[in-house]
């Protein structure tokens, strides 16, 4: 059937020129439903807005608003990108941040560090850091590459995928220690997105160190559901020796899972 929406040559359509195919019809219905739900959630929909005519007009308006919001956010990100340039080019830096492996210090800005973390702010406010601008602070749990990635994230709010994959565990620990919630959430999302049999034990261990209960529960449930792959992996022996309490958690969770399946729960 000729469709007045998705056809590549609408000018050849014969009257009444208002027929649409099933795919476009379902797409329009979904768009109207989504928009009406958005308006209802905002508490601004009355009975008239629930009809399809108003719904389609609202859908077009909502799409335009979302596009305008996206443009505004992109402009804001571009504006804030100056922080990253000041870090990379070491413009007016006033503090040296040193890794824990005797690596070279990395120049940074006191004000930004203090704004990103109350713990770092307290460190910078301590007696040892009040003057001269070439003073240093040390983050002993991070090596040079990990520290560089942490600082890059504090300035930009994101990291390239290769750096995330390489340093996500150390960054998660640093985010917990220095109370950086946005980085904690960032690392949690990355770990959940990559969770599989090869890294489930690592994620469980990190979630325990950081007291991240939701991540810990997700990792534990995954391990229970993939018990054979995880327990017979080369990683498990070293993990069990290092983390006996987590091994107990795995064992208990596995028994509860078996019990629930037997009882049909």
**Predicted confidence (pLDDT) per residue in 35-65, tens digit:** 666 666 655 545 544 555 555 666 667 677 7
Q: Could you tell me how far CA 186 lies from the centroid of its own chain?
A: 3
Helices in 81-132 by DSSP H: which ranges? 82-88, 110-116, 118-125
Q: In what order do the strands lie in the sheet with 95-99?
A: 106-108, 95-99, 136-139
First to last CA, the chain: 50
Q: Look at the block and give the residue holding tokens 């150390």.
A: 170
User: 108 forms bridges with which residues in the sheet?
Assistant: 95
d(CA 121, CA 113): 7
d(CA 154, CA 149): 9
The β-bridge relationship of strands 136-139 and 95-99 is parallel
**Residue 22: exposure state from Cβ atoms within 10 A (0-12, 13-18, ≥19):** exposed
**Predicted confidence (pLDDT) per residue in 138-162, tens digit:** 999 999 999 999 999 999 888 999 9
DSSP for 144-160 reads HHHHHHHHHHHHHS---
**Predicted confidence (pLDDT) per residue in 193-242, tens digit:** 999 999 999 999 999 999 999 999 999 999 999 999 999 998 999 999 99
> Could you count the other beta carbons within 10 Å of the beta carbon of residue 12?
8
Residue 130 has pLDDT above 60, yes or no: no
Q: What was the pLDDT predicted at 49?
A: 45
């Amino acid at each position: 059937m000729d469709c007045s929406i998705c056809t590549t040559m609408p000018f050849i359509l014969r009257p009444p020129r208002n027929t649409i195919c099933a795919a476009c019809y379902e797409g329009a219905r979904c768009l109207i439903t989504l928009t009406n739900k958005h308006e209802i959630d905002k508490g601004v929909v009355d009975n008239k807005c629930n009809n399809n005519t108003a719904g389609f007009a609202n859908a077009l308006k909502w799409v335009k608003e979302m596009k305008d919001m996206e443009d505004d956010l992109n402009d804001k990100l571009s504006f804030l990108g100056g922080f990253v340039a000041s870090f990379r080019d070491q413009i007016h830096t006033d503090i040296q941040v040193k890794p824990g492996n005797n690596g070279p210090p990395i120049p940074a800005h006191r004000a930004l560090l203090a704004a990103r973390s109350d713990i770092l702010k307290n460190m910078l406010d301590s007696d040892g850091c009040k003057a001269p601008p070439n003073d240093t602070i040390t983050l002993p749990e991070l090596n040079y590459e990990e520290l560089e990635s942490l600082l890059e994230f504090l300035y930009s709010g994101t990291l390239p995928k290769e750096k995330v994959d390489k340093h996500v565990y150390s960054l998660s620990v640093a985010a917990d220690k220095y109370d950086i919630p946005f980085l904690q959430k960032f690392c949690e999302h990355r770990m959940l997105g990559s969770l599989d049999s090869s890294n489930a034990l690592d994620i469980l261990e990190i979630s325990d160190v950081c007291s991240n209960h939701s991540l810990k529960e997700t990792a534990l449930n995954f391990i229970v559901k993939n018990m054979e792959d995880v327990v017979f992996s080369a990683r498990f022996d070293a993990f069990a020796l290092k983390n006996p309490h987590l091994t107990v958690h795995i064992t208990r969770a596995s028994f509860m899972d078996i019990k629930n399946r037997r009882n049909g729960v």
